[in-house]
Structures are given as C-alpha cells and as structure tokens.
Structure 1
C-alpha cells in the first residue's frame, strides 16, 4: 500500500485567508468571532458569527467567474488554489486521470437558493436563474475544482454534515493507498451564515447569544458556554502518495496514517450521551494507523462549545485512552474559529499538521471555569510547546456521523 502525505494546504477562515495568517492567529489565541455585518440581524436571537473578512471574490476569481458561483464555491476554489500553489505541483507532469477531488459541503449553496426563492416570489418563475441548481448543489465545489484543474481521477463530495472534512481526507487516504490516484484535493467548504440558517439554529437554541462579547462566545468545555458560534470558510489539502511526492522532491507537512468512521445510530442532532460513536471512530482510526493509543501526543477536539457535545467527546476520549487520557493535551480550535460546519475538518487538519511540524499546541481560549464533567487537559488559554509525533483529529456531525483522522510528523530519514 502507498503511504500518503500532505504536500499543500489552503485556508479561507475567520482567522485569515491564508495558512500563515490563520496559524499565527491560532497560536496567538485570537478569536475570529465578531458581530454579523453581512446580513440584517436585528430580529435574530444571535447576532454574532465567524465571518470571513477581506475576501474579494471578483479580484481573486474574476468578476464573471465569481458571479456564477455561490460563496461556498468561491471559498473552496481560493483555498484549493492556495493548496495547489503551496504544493508546487505542475499539471504538465501529472496524469490527470490520477488527479482526484474529494471536497464536500454540509449545506451547499444556501445563499444562492434563498436569493432565487426571493426572486421567484417577487418576480415570477421567468426570472429564476438557470444556473441555480449547478450553483447550489453540495458537490459544486468538488466539480468546480475538478474542472479548473482538469482532474479526471476519482471525485467524491461527501455529505456527512460537520464531519465532511475528515470524511473527505479519510476516503482520499484510502484511494491513494490502494493505487486509485496519485494526488487528491481533500477538504470542505461552507458559507451558511444566512437569515434562514441563523433563524433555524437560533430557534433550536443551538447558538450562543453572547452578542455583547463575541470574542468570548465560543468556549468549549467551559461551564458558562451557551451554544456554538456558526462560522464559514474552507480548508483544502493536497494529499499525495509518498512515492509521487518523493519523486519530485516535494515539501511534506505531515503523513496521513489513519482514518476511522462510525455512526452514533442515536439521534438526528444530539450525539450519543456516552460518546460511543465517537469512541468507535477514534478506535478505528488508531487501529488503521497501526499504532497504539498511547502513541497519540495531541488531540484536536471537535469541541463545538455545547454542553452535550463537549461532555460526549470527553467521555469518548476517556473510553479510548483510559487513565492516559489525562496525560494527552486536547485542544479546541473552534474556541477561536467558531464552528465552520462542513469546512471544519479540513481547516483543523491543517492546524494539526502545523502543530506536528512546529511542535506548538494552540490554546483552547475562553476556558475560565471548566465543566466539572470535562476534566481533561484542554490546553487552557495559553499556547504550549511540546514534542509531538502523532496527532488525532475528531470531526462529528448531525445524523451521528463521526470521522477521525490520525496524522504523523513526517520524518525524511
């Protein structure tokens, strides 16, 4: 089987629109949460989110191209372009039949859908855009990336809610391992901060309403958390077979060595209270990596800042690692990024790759008074240096979907 490595990375996020800026802000413990200024929120319970700022699609993609794409596709294409440039791959040297795209979105082009529903009601069916469907479908990002790079290899657009990024990376790992592709774009994208989604999540009492202090709103594992903070963006990685990467002397950020997936089989929106599904996925990922649980040096938690979610994940970690769970640093990127939904897994995989490369664990900010049932080492508020070799990243989604990946620091020796 082929070994699989990460050779390129791209990010569009509330913490910055390139990997360097994103990583610097993450390490500095800066929050990317702010008051929403992209839609009118006067009548909403929640008025805060993780907004992507300083993103000019016309400049980055061209006005004509940007106009026909939903924002989630714009984010994905920009992140994919960053990852491609970062990888130093050359299309002329690649077998395009072995170049794949595994990129998904949890909600897809909801902004485009809402706009056209309004047009239908106000101006009639004759004014609805003929490009509505190709712009809104959740596989549009994968399709657009495939078209732009001429990628004719395996293409998959997983829909596993907020587990999408890890699902994409894990399935891409398998495809390269078993010789179906040499290079795959993998990750996710989301742009769902709209009137409709804000109202729905708000009415479900799922969102934080700490509107007067946005930077303090996302607080995983803290006893005063009051819900998650919705965010947007994209995280795309270039996964490549080690053979292909070494042949061209590529830079390598980390090796992808394990993937595990499971279902809670419990509830449409609530995780299993004992974290069984999460535990199964983590156990499978560790087994797939051919390592022992004791070899994991850091955990990137899903940790959305909800009571039931944080407690369930903590229980799952304890079930897998036993007493050793208390010795493993667990960090929560969403304390700074907010919950980027289908983009989360890709962005957090990039963060984990940087952790392994730099030997630095970003903090879980806003952890001031921990939930008594969340008693692990969550790297509270202060960045930490550590000797890191293996890292595990969790992503869980509505419907009980769980996807976990294991990354390893790459040793050129």
Structure 2
C-alpha cells in the first residue's frame, strides 16, 4: 500500500513496478491520482510505459490499483490495516497491506494570528493556487504582501513583479533567502529588489490581518508597522501530515515520522518517506526535514530496495538546491553562516569572484561568478558552498555536494583535477581558487 501521490508516492510506485513487477499495489491519495502524477495523454501508446503513461487497463494488468479521493484517517499496524474516508461516497473503508509506504507529505503552516480566515489570503501549499491566479489577474489587486522570503516566496515575488503588482515581502530573517545564501550573494538579489521597487521588510513578524467590511483582507499589521494588502500570499513553511497516525508508529517531538536510514519506521512493515519525515543531513550528521522533491524520490528508492530486507541505506544528503530569479542563477549545498550558527557549528569561509570565461578566447560573453566555500577550521573538511552568476553555473555545486558526502578537505579540493579547455573554461576552476585562498 502507498499513501500519497506526490513526488515520493509516484517514485515509490515506479520503483515497485520496475523491481517487483508481480507485487500488487494499492495506491491512495486525497486528490485525483491521475492529476497528481501528470497522467500522460498518450497513455497506452508507449512501449514499456512508465506508471504515468499507462492506460487504465495497463495499470490493472500491472497490478496497480488507484484509489483517488481517499483520505487516510486511522492506522492499525497490529492488523496491517488502514482506514480511509472515501470523499466521493462519504463512506469509510478499510484496506489491508503486507507492506505500507507512507508518503503523505506536508501542509502549509497556518499562521496562528487574528484574521487568518479572511478572504484574499492564500498559500501555494494549501490548495489555494486557483485563488492566487484569480486574485493576481484582477486589476483591483495592486498591493500584494508575500509573507516569507524563501524559495516559494521569492519565486512568487518574481512573478508578481513581472505582472506589475506592488510587492512587499515580510520575513523574520534580515535578508531574503538567508537560509540558503550568505550576504555576499543576497546583496546582489537585494539590489534587484530595489531596482524593481520591491519592498523587503526583514526581522519582522506579522501580528494580525486586517479586513474591510466584506471580510476581504486589506492590510497586515506587523511589529514594524502596517502595510496595505489587496492580497496576501503566505509562504511561511510547512507542517508534516501525520496527525492521522495517532502515534500508531513513533512520531518525534517535531511531528515527523521517525525512520532509520532504510526509510523504515518503528514498525517493521511500515516505511515513511518525503516531507512527513526527516532525512540524514551529512554536514551535521543529524536528521532534518529538508523538503526537496529530490530527497523524497531518493527516500522512495531506498524504501523499495529495503522492503524485504534492510540492505542498502540512504547515505545522507547535503540539502543541495538552486533557483533562477531576477536574472541570476544560484545554488547552494551544505552549511552556510546562518545554518552553522543555528546548529552551533564552528565554521570558516572564503568568498571569491571570477570572470568567466577567458576574454578573447571564448564565444560566450564574459560574466562574473560569485562563490563562497565553507569548511571546518580544524579538520579543513568541506561543509558547504554557494554559487551565483548571470549565466547558469549552478551545476558546479554538485561537485561540492559530493565533496561533503565523501568528507573531502579543502586541501584535496585545492588540488582537484577540474577540467580546463581554452574557450570553454578558465585555467583555474573557481572551486580550486576558493580552496587555494582558504589554504593561504
């Protein structure tokens, strides 16, 4: 049984189909699974189709049974059963399993402040995408407040600005994307915000929503003043969808399902993956919730490999991610100054800039690359990195992610054989340059 049809659930179904083709899959989701997995319009016309390319008959012939609009409401590990509410019939139905994989994900954090029920307040992770699209297309929607300066908030800000809206970002951190990037890189983004007349209000908490006579949001109150708002987008994080489990398996103090490095829960026949769990974070060697589709899909593959016997653990992640907004491409992996402080980890860093590629030798335009490297002051072990450029150099962060996983040192990175070709690259890769600076 698979519960959930987002990235983690889909990858689970695909992995079981590939590796355990005779296993029967009962697959449940609160929404319509076909929509969740982007069911192909060309289903039934593909040789060796993936799960989302199969026709109804092909799904059945491959032992895959879809159960859409089913909400899990009770888990009974002793009898290997889960009870669901069927939202199409309003009935409750109970199904059995041999192995259960929970991929119920997370829901948006609802700010516990007065007025959070007013119209015109939406969250991208809470089923309000339609409300958002309708609201931002209205001519009367002029002032938009985005609560949260992380990836979701900044992507939304970029879109809203392009649509001509007056955007104000409210964040508890002092800088946008502070969890991902240090000041040398966020200063570049702040300049873009200023150029586009986007107002960033940092170190600020929202205290209340204000509405007009029609219960439509009109402003927000903060500890730094009141701001007009025809529409508010809340992007203030998520909470795991685990309340329905009722401690039938072990849940930690933060509400996440406890798992080992094989994605197994406290029950030998139940696995959990994705945003309802925490994952081994190599830079701190602790379990953290890192909500990335790539992590969820890795956990899915690990769960399926270890369904019968625990043989292949997940070797941890570095939280590698990237984004492109305001004409800048950037990526990060591992620790930075802020996250190291939060985890009480002593850290050192170097920042370098480099013009790529060699002027006069390349058909590509010259562009500046910004790179920051983080490492342990005593062992010189690499702990993190960030990169930013107006031309896409983000793939370079993958090398640092592998370096962290393999516990490489700055000394090894300084001497690393990173390819050079006139007209394609600089003589010294910027990662070599940063490591050499650290050694000096």
**Alignment TM class, shorter chain as reference:** under 0.3
Select the structure that is richer in helix: 1
Structure 2 length as normaliser, TM-score? 0.26
**Higher relative contact order structure (alpha carbons within 8 Å, sequence separation ≥ 6):** 1
Higher strand share: 2
Structure with greater Cα Rg: 2
